[in-house]
Structure 1
Amino acid sequence: MEITEVIGFIAALIIGIVLGLIGGGGSILTVPVLVYILHINPITATAYSLFVVGVSSTAGAIQNLKKGLIDFQTALIFAIPSLLAVYGTRRYIVPAIPNQLISYKNIIITKEIGLMIFFALIMFIASMSMIRNDKRKTKSLVKSNTSYTLIFIEGIVVGILTGLVGAGGGFLIIPALVLMAKLPMKKAVATSLLIIAIKSLIGFMGDVENLEIEWHFLLPFTLVAVLGIFLGTYFTRYIEGKKLEKGFGWFVLLMSIYILLKEVT
């Protein structure tokens, strides 16, 4: 095994640990790891990310199910439009995107570069959400009535974003569940993992018909990430989630800047 593969599998373990600790965020590391460390094509990397995130989140959701932390009604209202959106995006929209998005003088932006730039922008937004962590805003909004209509609409939006960039969208799902469905944070994290698992795996099914999947790589990589999510869940007993989330937010911010600089220079 080459050194890049060793680093990649260590990163897979970290991805799982972060997912287990804060219920999201780990998935946003998967695409950069696959693209920049393991040198996998961005289109294929977003597909692999959906599978890794889907299986890892399933493992986390099963653990939370045993603890009775999952709100199935809210999960279904969010997941059904989300999984339809992510499947449609992977099956029809991504293949329909032209290979050359922009060609102006010496500026050429290909489909792969465009997706990575878009992914970096999503990472930037996610990092701001994690860094700010405005408790006062959350408390004021939680007092409003539960809005299942807004949850349904956000499910569609998150599904499309997930389909485009291959991230689970936990950074969007968890605030929606807390603010709109008025779920306690622990239940929101647990329910988020179930939603991420369902829509990520459904989205990956849209890729199986379009891509040749290297299962001999993908399955071991995913297994390591699953091990990580069990470790992350165990570490929640000793690490304060809020501090970890803010620190991880700064890391994601730096990663987003790095990706932008690498793709545009």
Structure 2
Amino acid sequence: MSTALILALVAGAVVGLVLGGLGGGGSVLAVPAMIYLLGFSPLAATTASLLVVTVTSLSGLLAHAREGNVRWRLGALFAAAGVPPALLGGAMAGRIPEPVLTAAFSVIAGLAAWRMLRPGSLPRQGVRPARAAAAGAGLGAVTGVLGVGGGFLAVPALTGVLGLRMKSAVGTSLLVIVINSLAALVTRGHTADGLDWAVLAPFTGAAILAAWDGKRLAAKLPADRLQRLFAYVLLAVAAFMLLDALI
């Protein structure tokens, strides 16, 4: 077994555990793993991340749907606002210089970590259509440009802006992630030609399997402890990527 294959399996498992345990955040680790462990370019890494996140989130969505944790209509409306920005962002991604793409990704990762360290900062305020549309559009833009599913942004938005309970927010966020990621991939098709499927396929498979373990792990361990641990790891990754982009 080659070193690249082992790294792909390990990194994919970590991404799946995070996505299954926290309902988001896996793609924020997938991109740096693909760049620094598997040798992908930033553009290829963000495209590959979208592929991994789409398939893994779809698997998780089916599991949450069986438990009744998906608000289909609300999630579809929220995602609809993000589809045009996701399409536009996907088309623009190939024109952004790689250092800028890496720096932008590190900033988003840092913001996600900061948000996770403040889990109670968004109160439930009920459904506000304008805010919901703005949140959905912003999430779509981030997905299209940076190749992240956006669960770390979708879950707080669904709880704070739309007033969903956490379980419903996690399940519904997976629906939003799948829709936005597919939209972004439509305009990124030409960037998938050079992907190394020999490592991307096992990476995706490991992520799918580990996502189920992450869901079971989340049921046994305090969610706030898992979230804080992930946030600190994410902060370190964001700082490293920012330094790499600037130096």
Which residue does the alignment assign to 2:93? 94
Q: 1: CA distance between counterparts of 2:133 and 2:64?
A: 23
Deviations 1:184-232 (A, max 9, x none): 0111011111111221123123222344144443332211110111111
Matched, 1:14 2:9: no
Which residue does the alignment assign to 1:161? 142
8 Å Cα contact 1:61-1:194 kept in structure 2: yes
Q: 2: CA distance between counterparts of 1:35 and 1:119?
A: 12
Which residue does the alignment assign to 2:128? 147
Matched, 1:126 2:112: yes
Q: 2: CA distance between counterparts of 1:210 and 1:32?
A: 18
Q: How big is the alpha-carbon RMSD for the aligned residues of Structure 1 and Structure 2? A: 1.5
Aligned residues: 246
Q: How does 1:127-206 map to 2 (within 5 A)?
A: 127-133=113-119, 135=120, 137-138=121-122, 141-142=123-124, 144-206=125-187
8 Å Cα contact 1:131-1:247 kept in structure 2: no
8 Å Cα contact 2:43-2:191 kept in structure 1: no
Matched, 1:70 2:38: no
Q: Secondary structure at the match of 2:127?
A: coil
Q: Secondary structure at the match of 1:24?
A: coil
TM-score by length of 2: 0.94
**Which moves more between the two structures, 233-242 or 188-197?**
233-242
8 Å Cα contact 1:48-1:204 kept in structure 2: no
**Which moves more between the two structures, 169-178 or 198-207?**
198-207
Deviations 1:128-147 (A, max 9, x none): 001122x2x43xx31x3311
| AA in 1 matched with 2:237 | M
Which residue does the alignment assign to 2:59? 59
**1:247 Cα deviation after fit:** 1.0
TM-score by length of 1: 0.88
| AA in 1 matched with 2:11 | A
Q: 1: CA distance between counterparts of 2:35 and 2:95?
A: 21
2:100 counterpart (114, 119, 137):
114
Q: 1: CA distance between counterparts of 2:129 and 2:196?
A: 39
Q: 1: CA distance between counterparts of 2:180 and 2:133?
A: 14
Aligned sequence identity (%) = 31
Which residue does the alignment assign to 1:49? 49
Deviations 1:111-169 (A, max 9, x none): 11110010000011001001122x2x43xx31x33112211121111111111111111
The unaligned stretches of length 5 or more in structure 2 are none
8 Å Cα contact 1:23-1:189 kept in structure 2: yes
Q: 2: CA distance between counterparts of 1:176 and 1:211?
A: 30
Q: Secondary structure at the match of 1:145?
A: coil
Q: How does 1:236-255 map to 2 (within 5 A)?
A: 236-255=218-237
8 Å Cα contact 2:8-2:200 kept in structure 1: no
The unaligned stretches of length 5 or more in structure 1 are 98-110
8 Å Cα contact 1:82-1:158 kept in structure 2: yes
**1:89 Cα deviation after fit:** 1.6
Q: 1: CA distance between counterparts of 2:131 and 2:200?
A: 35
| AA in 1 matched with 2:184 | G
8 Å Cα contact 2:11-2:203 kept in structure 1: no
Q: 2: CA distance between counterparts of 1:261 and 1:125?
A: 16
Q: Secondary structure at the match of 2:114?
A: helix
